[in-house]
Structure 1
Amino acid sequence: MKLKYYITGNASHLVEEFYNISYSEKIVPLKSIIIPMGFSSLAFPYSSNQYFYQNKKRRDFKKLTLVGQFYKSYEMCIDSPGFCCGISFKPTTLYKLINLDISQFTNNYVDFYSVKPILSKKLEGLFIKYKNNSEQLFKELANFLNLLPLTENKDTIIIDGVIEEIHKKEGLLSVLEIMETVPFCQKTLETQFKKMVGLTPGKYIRLRRFLSLMKKYEKEQINLKDLIYMYNYYDESHFSKDFKLFTNKIFKKYFKKDYLIVKEALKK
């Protein structure tokens, strides 16, 4: 399996990463959990060999697909060689692009044509046209996205500021601390944040802290017990609850297995 990231170019304010993930004959069939990574995305498969299981139901992955924010893991399956290209957005980008409540897509995959047919058709055309040239594909996508009209106002500016602070502190803060910096009551903050990001601020903070810990572990191989305390988990039991929430796995068993897709993504 090869996971490659590309320069986001003039769409860097909208896109977290462009990526191409390919599966060779050596590793298929492949099964791997996919854990939530804190962003929504669009993904285009170039073969019909990919599907996933969510709530024990099989879902085939065939068209340009909107991948909502997830706070639960799911299982991805690849039966034969192939590849997929995609766009991982900044947390509020999808809301700005389609001006819809993003929480309706949380923990879900949706055929993007059913959401925005005209936009979907244009994007799909680019994915198909540049099938054999990922670098050019992502340059064209960056140019295209950069020209689209966006829903931006004082509320999006505030929520973007909150997200920036959460990222800066790697999730090591509370909703009460955020409340001291925004002109919202807590209910309004939660409503606006969930509408634009897909998760409540509390859940997003927990996910960001968890991902910060996991990325540091995968990239630097710091002792897990040290990281648990570094990220303000009171003990292993406290960390285990978040681990179970976001991966649906018991953390001691997870580290004994080789989840290729997850570990490659966390090393970025």
Structure 2
Amino acid sequence: MIFERDSNCDSPYFTNVSKVTYITDTDLQTFTYLGYSYIIFVFDRTEFFDHNGKQQPIPEVILLGPGDFFNTRGYKGAGSIAIELPAQTIHIATGKPASELRNVIIDIKDLIPADIVDRMHSKLRVSTSFEEIKSILIDEIESELKQWNTQTKSSDVVKYIHEKKGLVSKQEIADLFCFSERTLERIFMKEVGTSPYLFISQIRFNNALQDLQLMNMDFSQLMLNYNYYDRSHFEKDFEKFMGKRIIQYKNGIPSLFEAALDRSYHKN
């Protein structure tokens, strides 16, 4: 499997673009979408399974929300392109409370005319660079991307949580942005799909895992940097957000997940 990412994504509409190409058949792998919404273009034979192990039908272009996780299996010659969007995108695009869309695979053709989606999918299939990918997206769906980046009540809060790497309390956020904790809870459930506390935990976990993988950081330093009580505290977050215990991962973290960690948060 070849994993590529755009390390200089300066688009005002999306924060990261990545591409996966399967050069051999793969084992089942877990992929988690923490902190962002995603448009994913699927090419050829790729299978998605939910947390109960049930295979899900996969349209050619899908939208997923923050906190979703699926087990995936790719076959030789298949691949995908993932566009990372603000967490609130799934709510803005569908007009539905994001809390009702957790682990729901949305066919992008329900949101964008089918002829545009088909044309875009065909162009991206043969694209050869990230600049070309971004150009195709802007040419075909700039108006939708612009609309989906509309400022919402949670936008500045979500951005702040990312900037703080999840090292912030719900009370601090409520005070800083002049929301009551109850109001903040309602806003997040509607726009992000989860509670402020759980979203903060997701972002902290994601950043901790990146540091663990990319910086060869030992657990004692990781616990200190990210305010985990001990290793078991981190392992509980791992199981919560990945759907499996660390020990259940054969031969370490799967390559797709490991490669996905090789990214950094890009401010808008």
* Letter aligned with residue 5 of structure 1: R
Does the alignment pair 1:31 with 2:28?
A: yes
Aligned to 1:127: 121
Segments of 4+ in structure 1 off by > 6 A?
A: 151-154
Q: SS of 2:125's equivalent? A: coil
Task: Tell me how far 1:165 sits from its aligned partner.
Answer: 1.6
Asked whether the equivalents of residues 16 and 88 of structure 1 are also in contact (C-alpha less than 8 Å), the reply is yes
Task: Tell me how far 1:218 sits from its aligned partner.
Answer: 1.0
Aligned to 2:54: 57
Structure 1 Cα separation of the partners of residues 137 and 150 of structure 2: 24
Structure 1 Cα separation of the partners of residues 84 and 261 of structure 2: 14
Task: Tell me how far 1:108 sits from its aligned partner.
Answer: 2.1
**Please, what is the CA RMSD of the aligned residues?**
2.4
Aligned to 1:179: 174
Task: Tell me how far 1:98 sits from its aligned partner.
Answer: 4.2
Structure 1 Cα separation of the partners of residues 9 and 121 of structure 2: 16
Does the alignment pair 1:102 with 2:98?
A: yes
Q: SS of 1:30's equivalent? A: coil
* Letter aligned with residue 41 of structure 1: Y
Q: TM-score, normalised by structure 2?
A: 0.86
Aligned to 2:164: 169
Q: 2:237 aligns with which of 206, 226, 242?
A: 242
Matches within 5 A, 1:1-268: 1-6=1-6, 7-9=8-10, 12-25=11-24, 28-47=25-44, 49-54=45-50, 55-70=52-67, 73-113=69-109, 115-118=110-113, 121-135=115-129, 136-148=132-144, 150=147, 156=152, 158-254=153-249, 256-268=251-263
Task: Tell me how far 1:255 sits from its aligned partner.
Answer: 8.1
Q: SS of 1:166's equivalent? A: helix
Gaps of 5+ in 1: none
Structure 2 Cα separation of the partners of residues 29 and 255 of structure 1: 13
Gaps of 5+ in 2: 264-268
Structure 1 Cα separation of the partners of residues 78 and 209 of structure 2: 28
Q: SS of 1:167's equivalent? A: helix
Task: Tell me how far 1:117 sits from its aligned partner.
Answer: 4.6
Task: Tell me how far 1:134 sits from its aligned partner.
Answer: 4.4
Q: Percent identity?
A: 22
Asked whether the equivalents of residues 64 and 90 of structure 2 are also in contact (C-alpha less than 8 Å), the reply is no
Task: Tell me how far 1:202 sits from its aligned partner.
Answer: 1.0
